Amino acid sequence: MTIVTHAHADLRPEVVGFYDEATSSVQYVVRDPLSRSCAVIDPVLDFDAHSGGIRTRSADLLLRHIEEQGLRLEWILDTHPHADHLSAAAYLREVTGAPTGIGDHVTEVQRLWKGLYHLPGSFRTDGSQWDRLFADGDRLMVGGMKMTVLLSPGHTLCSVTYVTGDAAFVHDTLFMPDSGTARADFPGGDAVALWRSIQRILMLPDQTRLFTGHDYRPHSRPAAWESTVGEQKAGNAHVTGMDEARFVAMRTGRDRSLPLPDLILPALQVNIAAGHLPAPEDDGRRYLKIPLDAFPDAPWPEPHHA
């Protein structure tokens, strides 16, 4: 695929979100209504931490939708290497042949986590596991729709927002207004950068639809993942009425109390490789590495009682 600088920028993309109960994640199919071309954003590979089992049920829902609607998949996009689910980008690429993409600062994340996992020297940290690395301001085509990439660091070093027409896919930067914002305490995270990324997103027109990457359903409300810039300005629980200093103090204090996501250590070693699972060892089985005591100061989750 070629990065271009022109297209039908005024088209309203059609967006279908698929909510994954197990990880509270949302994966998206975004469609150009004129050409029937589409992109997938943040696909989920199912992983059972108890058994080590891998399934493709969530990603197969996307494939079934694409087939039923007669769509043509042109891009498989991740907004960042996720800490709470495994990416299905490699699986979808294998099945469909569509190219994969992510922000170009992923190389910094790869170098950081390569050290944490003590990965072998053969693990590449040049981002070559993806077909395309996008710089801030790059544009790509999904049929006749132009999609612009905005670097949105803070949650991670390499987070990006994909903007097309009146839709923006903001990953873990902004949640639904009643849930506030993403944490910024993972390796490479930065609360100041997160605030500034949020302000950049909120400079989009008020009617811009924002599609978030997670919804944790506060007060057990139904899952939701679409808001607008105007709604976020008016009522985001962590942003409205705040300035940078107050936000950073709030975010930093809140993050100190949060346990790490359940799947962060299994997920990152797969996700910094574009969703490729580790190569089989000489017994034919694949293995994930869990670095012990890599985060000694992280709070432990509350115990679950049967």
pLDDT in tens, 164-184: 999 999 989 999 999 999 999
Inter-axis angle of helices 191-201 and 244-256, nearest 10:
130
In this prediction, residue 7 carries a pLDDT of 40
Which one-letter amino acid corresponds to residue 125? T
| pLDDT surpassing 90 at residue 10 | no
CA distance 65 to 62: 5
At residue 302 the predicted structure's pLDDT band, cuts being 50, 70 and 90, is confident
CA distance 223 to 214: 9
| pLDDT surpassing 50 at residue 8 | no
Exposure pattern of 65-82 as b/e (b: 16+ CB <10 Å)? bbeeeebebbbbbbbbbb
- Is residue 20 helix, strand or coil? strand
CA distance 66 to 40: 10
Q: Which of 67, 76, 93, 72 is CA-nearest to residue 27?
A: 76
> pLDDT by residue (tens digit) across 196-212?
999 999 999 999 999 99
In this prediction, residue 5 carries a pLDDT of 31
pTM, rounded to two decimals: 0.94
Phi, psi of 146 (to 5 degrees): -90, 130
Output the CA–CA distances (angstroms, integers) from residue 127 to 75, 104, 123, 147, 271, in the order listed. Answer: 17, 7, 10, 21, 11
CA distance 223 to 220: 8
Token digits of residue 142: 């999904």
Q: Which DSSP letter does residue 178 get? A: T
Using a pLDDT cut of 90, give the percent of the chain over it.
92
| pLDDT surpassing 70 at residue 103 | yes
> pLDDT by residue (tens digit) across 40-83?
999 999 999 999 999 999 999 999 999 999 999 999 999 999 99
Burial zone of 120 (CB within 10 Å; 0-12 exposed, 13-18 middle, 19+ buried): exposed
The residue-averaged pLDDT of 257-269 equals 95
Give the list of residues 6+ apart from residue 18 with CB closer than 8 angstroms, or none: 26, 27, 28, 29, 58, 61, 62, 65
The residue-averaged pLDDT of 127-153 equals 97
